[in-house]
Structure formats: structure tokens, C-alpha cells
Amino acid sequence: MLSIVVKAHAKINLSLDILYRRVDGYHELESIMQSIGLHDVVTISIDPDAEVKTLNPAHLIRVATTSPEVPADEENIAFTAAKLLMRHAGKYMPIRINIQKNIPVAAGLAGGSTNAAAVLVGLNQLWRLGLRPVELAEIGEKIGADVPFCIFGGTALVGGIGEKVTPIRRRGEDFGVVLVKPAFGISTAEVYRSLDLAEVRHPNTLGMLDAIIEGDFTRVVENLGNVLESVTLPRYQSLQEIKMALLSAGASGVLQSGSGPTIFGLTPTGAAAVEVAAKLRDRYPTVTATTLSAKGQEIVG
């Protein structure tokens, strides 16, 4: 049995703009996505010497997870990732995927997508396929909109429906990040259906791009923006309350990640993030202090 261990990092959107609704029904987005230190641990095991009596992935792939909120069957997109790469590579053998969940579920942090990306990256290594990130991202695009970014990781300008990923080299030290997730979830599909692009204030994507490249914390804070807040904040008063609580606790800038419901606050340092998080843990069920990360997937064993 051969195994590999991958840290699968979560993401936040420093800037998220929706440009228009496409004729295919999807929305054309423009976003600065950023990996953060918070991560799941995905262990992938294969048995290349096992006797295989079926080519049906449903009988070859097994998923286990530490979270009761995450499906441990074909509904898990990590399963889908293994199935697609298995067929792409023609490698039919037993695969075991174990996911240690640390990223909150249905939180706007790409927890499922980064697990799928970890499976693609891990199996690419185990099977010695030699596929480049752009090739893995093409497979990942078939799984979910955030999977391509999670394969590249770090900092990136993301366009299309998520498949256009342009990595960005970020200067300076890693900022601190405080994540606060309320006890409820939000339907991404419903948020997009309710979005009125004629009424939104579009963020300055280029301003954020320039600020993050320079590592200018003050300008990053000034350019935080997410058009989806135009839907969620009026509907969920508690999200606005979380933003105010983060600012009162010492965060310099706050924003909803993706379609929510997680709100993040930025601090100049990781130590400052720890201090802010400590002030909020008695008020909210899920509060996490972390930092920006230069990686989306990290092979550690």
C-alpha cells in the first residue's frame, strides 16, 4: 500500500466581482482569491498490486471523513476527483481517501473544492503522472468552480466561472486572518439567483491586485469588496453584526468570503489575529485565527 498526505488549504476572496450573467446561465466573475493557513488533511492510499475485478470506480474508491456533515460516498467531490483522474490515467486500483476536516463546511472557504484538489495533486504524485498544474486544473474545472484555484493556490486573479487562474506573486509578510462562521449556512445558488447587478457597487479589482502585489496592508484593507454582500447582508442581520464585532475586536478590515456565511477580518500579523479571535470565541461557535498562505496544496508525507 502506497500513501500520501496532503494539506488542503482553504481560501478567502479578497475581492469578488460579478461582471455579468452569461448566456449559459453562469456568472462571469473577477476575483482575487487567496489561500490561507487553515487546512484539511487528506490522506490518499492506493494498492497497485491489488487484484482488480472491476473497472467501476464506485467499487474501487472509498472515502472516510471526520465530519458528519460531509458525505462519505459518491456525493463527496473528492470521490469525483479520484474517479475522473482514474479514468483519465487509466489507473484502476483500490483508492482510499481519508479527510480530516478542519475547514468549516458550507462556509464559503472552498473546503470541498480543496479536498478534491488534494486528491488530484496526491494521485498525480502517487501515480507519477507528471501532469502540470494547468492540466490538473482542466480536470478540476469539471468538478467545481473553485477547484482550479485550489490546485494553484497562493494568490491569484480568477476569471470566467473560476477556470481562468492567473497566479500572482505577493510581496511582504503574511497578514493575519480571523474567520468567524455563524451556525447557519447560505445557499450559493440562491445568492446568485437573487443578485441584481444593476444595484451593486463593484469592487476595485485592479486596486486590490496592485495592493496585494505590493504587500500594502492598508491598501488591501481599503480595496476589500464582495458584490454578493448586496444579497446576504440585508437578509442576514447577524452577518453585519459579525463584521462590526470583528472591527470592534481589532480587525482592520472585514469582508464576507464567497457567498458566505463566513466573515473574515484582516490583521497586520498572525499574532494580532490570535488576539482578535480570543475576544470573539465566547460569542460565536466557530472562530479561527490563521494567516495568508503561499500554497493551496502541500504534500507533507
205-210, long-range: CB < 8 A, 24+ apart: 205/15, 205/17, 205/30, 205/31, 205/32, 205/157, 208/14, 208/15, 208/32, 209/15, 209/32, 209/157, 209/168
pTM of the model: 0.95
d(CA 64, CA 98): 5
Q: Which residues are catalytic, by number?
A: 11, 146
Higher-confidence residue of 299 and 57: namely: 299
Q: Dig out the grid coordinates for 165 from the structure.
A: 487562474
**Per-residue model confidence (pLDDT) at position 172:** 83
CB 6 within 8 A of CB 126: no
CB 257 within 8 A of CB 12: yes
**Per-residue model confidence (pLDDT) at position 49:** 78
**Per-residue model confidence (pLDDT) at position 51:** 77
**Per-residue model confidence (pLDDT) at position 182:** 94
d(CA 30, CA 21): 12
**Per-residue model confidence (pLDDT) at position 185:** 86
Q: Where are the beta strands (DSSP E) in the chain?
A: 2-21, 27-46, 61-65, 95-100, 155-160, 164-168, 176-181, 225-226, 253-256, 263-267, 286-291, 297-299
At residue 188, what are phi and psi to the nearest 5 degrees? Answer: -60, -45
Name the burial class of residue 169, with classes exposed (0-12), middle (13-18) and buried (19+) by CB atoms within 10 angstroms of its CB: exposed
Q: With respect to CATH, is domain 176-291 assigned 3.30.70.890?
A: yes
| Residue ranges of domains in the chain | 2-168, 176-291
DSSP string for residues in 13-55: EEEEEEEEE-TTS-EEEEEEEEEEEEEEEEEEEE-TTSPP---
Q: Across residues 128-152, what is the average pLDDT?
A: 96
pLDDT digits (tens, 9 = 90+) for 93-125: 999 999 999 999 989 999 999 999 999 999 999
d(CA 86, CA 254): 41
Q: What is the overall mean pLDDT for the chain? A: 94
pLDDT digits (tens, 9 = 90+) for 280-291: 999 999 999 999
pLDDT digits (tens, 9 = 90+) for 28-77: 999 999 999 999 999 999 988 787 878 888 899 999 999 999 999 999 99
Q: Across residues 86-99, what is the average pLDDT?
A: 95
In the CATH hierarchy, which top-level class contains the domain 2-168?
A: alpha beta
**Per-residue model confidence (pLDDT) at position 55:** 83
